A = this chain, B = another copy of it.
Amino acid sequence: MRFTSEQRLDDDVLERHFTLGEIPGILWTPGSASASTPVPLILVGHPGGLRDMYSRLVVRACHSAAEGFAAATIELPGGGDRPRVADVEEARADLLRALAAGEPVGDDTVDRLVLPLVDQAVPEWRSALDAILALPEIGGPVGYAGGIMGIGIRLAVVEPRISAALLFAGSVVPRALVEEARQVTVPLQVLLQWDDEGNDRQSALDLFDAFGSAEKTLHANMGGHTGVPEFEGDDVNRFFARHLK
């Protein structure tokens, strides 16, 4: 991991951009973090395109930092300046075509869109975790918070350092990952926008049902896809405070 820039944001949050091989990423640490008082870490998932997502990510990271958590994210395969993943691009075109035509999105399209991304991204996130946890100011445990449920599900299953996960029910999930969800056992909070125009409510409820975690909580709210109420942000901090501190 090589740091390429750093700046101190308001509220005493240190933002550092880094590269991990070819993969760009960002790490935010609260001013309170030091080698003698290392802080827990939250991995922040996003749909790809760090530059476009930056404003939303930095707000979430500063919110986490206010509670004493570091936050980190890396670019997805095919996102930002990273090389496109040809199969995924083709599946995305099929998806957009189906949506534009008002046709149902086939399971095959969903598989081709999500599975290669998850297969490639999860080892990258684990490498990022290795590198970030090697920093003296970052301790464990680790949480995952993100809207790409596939990556969150797979990480929660294969990565023992993940202790809790906050998932936004906002993306298409392949059948195979619903099956993987049954193996998830960490405490889970799932945010569902009840009238999300881009998301099938019943699929989201079925997926919530599938998770194997003994402690899992679903928060459903009104307000459409992007209308998650502000009070849920505070509750995310409380969820991670319960499980990462």
Contact-residue size bin, chain A (C-beta under 8 Å from the other chain): 10 to 19
**Main SS at interface, chain A:** mixed
Contact B220 A217 (CB under 8 A): yes
Contact B215 A218 (CB under 8 A): no
Complex Cα distance, B213 from A215, in Å, reads 28
CB of A216 closer than 8 Å to a CB of B: yes
Copies in the complex: 2
Closest B residue to A234 by CB, please name it. B238
Complex Cα distance, B222 from A67, in Å, reads 26
Closest B residue to A242 by CB, please name it. B231
Distance in Å: Cβ of A18 to nearest Cβ of chain B = 35
Q: CB within 8 Å of B: which residues of A?
A: 194, 205, 208-209, 213-222, 229, 231, 235, 238, 242
Known: A194-B218, A220-B220. 6 other contacts (CB 8 A): A213-B222, A215-B229, A216-B221, A217-B221, A218-B218, A235-B235
